[in-house]
Amino acid sequence: MYPSILIPMRTVIVDGYVDEPACFGVPPYISPYIRYIAGAMRERGITEDDIHYFTIDGLRTATPEDVLALKKADLVVILSGITVPGKYLRSSPITPGEIENICSLSSGLKVIGGPIRLGFSKEGGTGAKELGIEAEDVVIAKKDIEAFVYDLFENVSLLDPEDIEHRLRTVEEIGMWSRLGAFIIERHPDYPYVMCELETYRGCGRKIHCSFCTERFYGPSDYRPVSDVVDEVSSLYAAGARYFRIGRQPDLFSFHARDIGADILQPDPSVLELLYSGIRKVAPELKVLHMDNANPATIAAYPEQSLEIMKTIIRHHTSGDIAALGMETADPNVVRANDLKAMPEDVLDVIKMINEVGASRGSSGLPELLPGLNFVHGLPGETKNTFGMNYAFLKSVLDSGLLVRRINIRQVMAFPDTRVYGNDELVGKHKKVFLKYKEKIRKEIDLPMLRKVVPKGTVLRDVMCEVHDESSKNELTFGRQFGSYPLLVGIPLTLPLGKFTDVVIVGHGQRSVKAIPYPLEINSAPLSVIREIPGISDLEASNIYSGVPYANENEILGKVQDVEKLLKYVVV
């Protein structure tokens, strides 16, 4: 039995970050779950002053006051769960050891939840014991953590967690909690530069689910009212948010889709117009509005409706947007064996359609809307030939001149109650082939594709400088634009962190670009950077450098053959 505690009480929310197929919450992103938890507490009468919020990165450099707040908390809520692990630039998700340390530090009730409930250990366990925690005051929320936190309170008392039924929250509840919890973004260490992940719905409307799908655990598609999403954006905007991504759903095109008796629901373009125009109305000076997931099967089955939706998105969004397509494989046998979404020829048609309406370059410097492709390996039916089919598909896309912004290749993660669970031998069956194939795609597909998407001389606007590369002997700053799957930019200078800068691309890696500030202040630039100016030879760069400082542009005349080309990129 856990002793009852009365409101007012001290609470702490620890953001251990989430990364799911349909939700991202690693900085600069903030997941909707954090806002729902805060909103649930507010609806139960806990004041904003009694809700403390820490990211795990913040706790890693905690002040004595932060540690004291954690120790004195009556309730500590830890959000965690990485079901599709990726590579992170400057943040890393919470570890089991850190969860254990937080739990041992606090004497209050600890509630752990989020995607972590789907399984943490190899055996798929979801209890505190699988985390190495042996304590009566630690509980795992087995369904929605925000609903569990809300149900912990009855009138003004904190109840015994054993008395609480684990359940899913309702769309009506998160409609309220998302607005009440909007204030929490102001506590984020990156504020106001936080990207707010928005949820339109969850669950899958397909009658037959993909073999590895975890979205089906939420049941049939549970759509939020458009007005609720718009009201949430309004609350976040009032709290200072300017960066948004409509990312928490398995397929944006299927938001409020119609069931006409087919396996694939029919999109309703009018709903997406209401959503996007509504967001633009309540957040008129937003900086970023992007999307994430799109089911290629939906677009292929309903091209007219999908084309109308794409035009709506481009009319209201900000450029650099990506429609991530869950292709999974180009092997028809794997598609059939796992009840996947679309055949390769369908996906190719979708890539062409998105390129037709979205490939033009926008104000950010990137194309308006491009497809992204997700591939999953280790599925039933996979053979060595599968890798060749995937490569051949991507090569045909590249050779045809079509643009793809990003290609994600991963091994399947099998969770309990999915059809692939327990088939671990499938994942490791072609490991050596997988690694060679992945490297081949990075070199022979990603690199030339990136050169097409952002050629040398392309100017990218508003790149946030995030980290300095301490391992490099040379000066190097890494930055990204805010958006869906932002392009990593390496700048060969030590620039102030947390600041935006415009850059011009001067080189390409497999999944990143090299760039210099735009326009380049010629009088303060080192020779190594002047050499990077597009179209300038090493000799011309030396001539330019030998003449600094310049009083005006006229003094540069004669230093280079094509002075107009130079003045496109520099300023005196």
* 49 domain residue, yes or no: yes
Pair (267, 322) in one structural domain: yes
Pair (426, 467) in one structural domain: no
* 507 domain residue, yes or no: yes
Q: Which of 143, 163, 183 is the last residue of a domain?
A: 163
- Residue 138: how many CA atoms within 13 Å on its side-chain side? 20
Say what the pLDDT of residue 560 is. 87
* 2 domain residue, yes or no: no
H-assigned helices in 9-136: 32-43, 56-60, 64-72, 96-105
Pair (354, 294) in one structural domain: yes
Pair (97, 241) in one structural domain: no
**Cβ neighbours for 216, distance < 8 A, ≥ 6 positions apart:** 203, 204, 209
In angstroms, what CA-CA distances link 73 with 105, 110, 287, 366, 561? 10, 9, 36, 46, 68
Supply the CATH number for residue 281's domain: 3.80.30.20
How far is it, in rounded angstroms, from Cα 568 to Cα 459?
A: 11
Give the closest residue to 313 by CA, choosing from 351, 275, 349, 266: 275
Pair (207, 309) in one structural domain: yes
Supply the CATH number for residue 88's domain: 3.40.50
Pair (98, 225) in one structural domain: no
In angstroms, what CA-CA distances link 189 with 22, 59, 62, 158, 399? 24, 11, 12, 29, 44
3-class secondary structure, 383:
coil
How far is it, in rounded angstroms, from Cα 546 to Cα 513?
A: 28
Query: E strand or H helix at 431, and its extent?
Result: helix 431-441
Say what the pLDDT of residue 532 is. 95
Say what the pLDDT of residue 123 is. 41
Please check whether residue 84 is in contact with residue 17, taking contact to mean a CB–CB distance below 8 angstroms.
no
Tokens of 299: 């677009």
Say what the pLDDT of residue 129 is. 56
Strand pairing report for 243-248 and 138-140: unpaired
Peptide bond into 519 cis (omega under 30): yes
Give the closest residue to 20 by CA, choosing from 169, 224, 181, 212: 212
Counting the structural domains of the chain, the total is: 3
Pair (499, 524) in one structural domain: yes
Tokens of 31: 């997941």
Q: In what order do the strands lie in the sheet with 153-154?
A: 5-6, 157-158, 153-154
* 372 domain residue, yes or no: yes
Between CA 5 and CA 17, with CA 11 as vertex, the angle to 5 degrees is 140
Pair (449, 463) in one structural domain: no
* 173 domain residue, yes or no: no
What is the residue range of 278's domain?
192-453
Pair (330, 301) in one structural domain: yes
pLDDT tens, per residue, the chain with 572 residues: 566 777 778 999 999 999 988 889 999 999 999 999 999 999 999 999 999 999 999 999 999 999 999 999 999 999 998 887 778 888 999 999 999 999 999 989 999 999 888 764 334 444 555 566 666 789 999 999 999 999 999 877 888 888 899 999 999 999 999 999 999 999 999 999 999 999 999 988 777 778 777 777 777 889 999 999 999 999 999 999 999 999 999 999 999 999 888 888 999 999 999 999 999 999 999 999 999 999 999 999 999 999 999 999 999 999 999 999 999 999 999 999 888 889 999 999 999 999 999 999 999 999 999 999 999 998 989 999 999 999 999 999 999 999 999 999 988 877 777 777 766 566 567 888 999 999 999 999 999 999 999 999 999 999 999 999 877 778 899 999 999 999 999 999 999 999 999 999 999 998 899 999 999 999 999 999 999 999 899 999 999 999 999 999 888 888 888 888 889 999 98
How far is it, in rounded angstroms, from Cα 210 to Cα 370?
A: 24
Q: Which of 122, 145, 163 is the last residue of a domain?
A: 163
Cα dihedral 238, 17, 140, 59 in deg (nearest 10): -90
Sign of torsion, CA 188 191 193 196? positive
Say what the pLDDT of residue 211 is. 72
What end-to-end distance do the CA atoms of the chain give, in Å? 72
Say what the pLDDT of residue 7 is. 73
Q: Which of 453, 480, 502 is the last residue of a domain?
A: 453
Say what the pLDDT of residue 565 is. 86
Please check whether residue 171 is in contact with residue 139, taking contact to mean a CB–CB distance below 8 angstroms.
no
Burial class (CB in 10 A: 0-12, 13-18, 19+), 349: middle
Pair (496, 371) in one structural domain: no
3-class secondary structure, 518:
coil
Residue with tokens 């190899």: 122
Please check whether residue 458 is in contact with residue 362, taking contact to mean a CB–CB distance below 8 angstroms.
no
Tokens of 528: 């190594």
Pair (502, 464) in one structural domain: yes
**Cβ neighbours for 399, distance < 8 A, ≥ 6 positions apart:** none
* 168 domain residue, yes or no: no
Pair (503, 412) in one structural domain: no
Tokens of 372: 């992204």
Strand pairing report for 293-294 and 109-113: unpaired
* 1 domain residue, yes or no: no
* pTM of the predicted structure, to 2 decimals: 0.93
Tokens of 424: 């671990």
Identify residue 302 by its one-letter amino acid code: Y
* 243 domain residue, yes or no: yes
